[in-house]
Homo-oligomer: A and B are copies of this chain.
Amino acid sequence: MKKIINQPKDVVEEMVAGLVGSYPDYLKQVPETLVVARTDEFDSVALVSGGGSGHEPSHAGFVGDGMLSAAVCGQVFTSPTPDQIYEAIKATDKGKGALMIVKNYSGDVMNFDMAKEMAEMEDIEVASVLVDDDIAVEDSTYTQGRRGVAGTVLVHKILGGLAREGKSVNELAVYGEALVKDIKTVGIALSGATVPEVGKPGFTLDDDEMEYGVGIHGEPGYRREKIKTSSEIAKEVVGKLKAEFGWQSGDSYGVFVNGMGATPLMELFIYFNDVKALLEADGIKVAFTKVGNYMTSLDMAGASVTLIKLDDKRVSLLNEPVHTIAW
């Protein structure tokens, strides 16, 4: 393992220090926690997310006006503990309660639920939205149902905008539940990620091999085969998304191509180009686009395609300016 780190056990603590130290105008650390919160004043429902670290810039990079109020940084690929999540809620609740945005992993679901109970005992209203956008497989190494992956970033953005408009916890939860059904993702991997404390990749692929449907912690996908061209990969991935959405010519979608961490932007733009061509050939109106590294998996090479069904309100919320380091 070659990484620019000090002791593997300290990576999250040092990363949080680096995050807050490099962007002090945006981010502050809640004392004695691994919770990163926005620095500015606000008066809306608190939006709290987080999960295992290793997916940077998720989620701390999306903390700020118009998106999250706080992000809880768990150990690498490990859910944060309930008390840390509770600290995030307590630090950002303005008397209007908190909405938690949770990726669907069993550990996260359990710990965010326990934090919710802790907050409710303090009379803080809390609801949650569970993101399960990864359609590649049902149930997985750490998941009942479908995994929550890159689509979570779009949920942060849209619900963040609605929270800023002054929506209540319940309104956000209801809107979020419907929203998540219209966001779907399929990833591919060209290499595995190495967790610092493990010291070797979570899985390996041959020099000419790729895998469809890999999760953001290296959970198994649905097929391995020799690497194909970008346009052939796009055809497979868009075909899977189409079967799931069942779209019709004239429908409006957003396209979000996300890098897994070690894949150059050049490849992401080429892949986006092929994905977009397939959607347009189907008569889909591409009304929002985003390309870059947003929900990564340490040093995994690969990319995911997230599609979101759009209406005018969602397009407007996705395009609103925000004050974060990574959107």
User: Residues of A at under 8 Å CB distance from B?
Assistant: 2-7, 11, 14-15, 17-19, 21-23, 53-54, 56-57, 61, 188, 190-191, 207-210, 227, 229-231, 233, 255, 257, 261-274, 276, 289-291, 293, 296, 298-299, 301, 303
Contacts and interface: CB of A to CB of B under 8 A. Distances in A.
Contact of A56 (B6, B233, B269, B272): B269
A293 B19 CA distance: 14
B15 A266 contact: yes
B54 A5 contact: no
Given A22-B269, A54-B266, A270-B15, A210 B289 contact: no
A298 B266 contact: yes
Given A4-B263, A230-B4, A21 B289 contact: yes
Given A15-B266, A191-B2, A264-B56, A21 B233 contact: no
A318 to B, nearest CB: 12
Given A6-B230, A262-B262, A22 B303 contact: no
B11 A266 contact: yes
- How many copies of this kind of chain does the complex include? 2
A210 B231 CA distance: 35
Given A273-B14, A299-B301, A4 B291 contact: no
B266 A2 contact: no
Given A18-B271, A293-B293, 9 more contacts: A2-B208, A7-B229, A11-B266, A11-B270, A21-B273, A23-B289, A56-B264, A61-B265, A299-B301
A285 to B, nearest CB: 13
B14 A264 contact: no
The SS class assigned to the A binding surface is mixed
14 contacts: A4-B190, A4-B230, A4-B267, A4-B270, A6-B230, A15-B266, A15-B273, A18-B270, A21-B273, A22-B289, A22-B291, A56-B264, A61-B265, A264-B299
A276 B21 contact: yes
A204 to B, nearest CB: 12
B53 A2 contact: no
A2 B207 contact: yes
| Most B C-beta atoms less than 10 A away, residue of A14, A17, A265, A268 | A265
Contacts of A262: 261-262, 264, 299, 301
A262 to B, nearest CB: 4
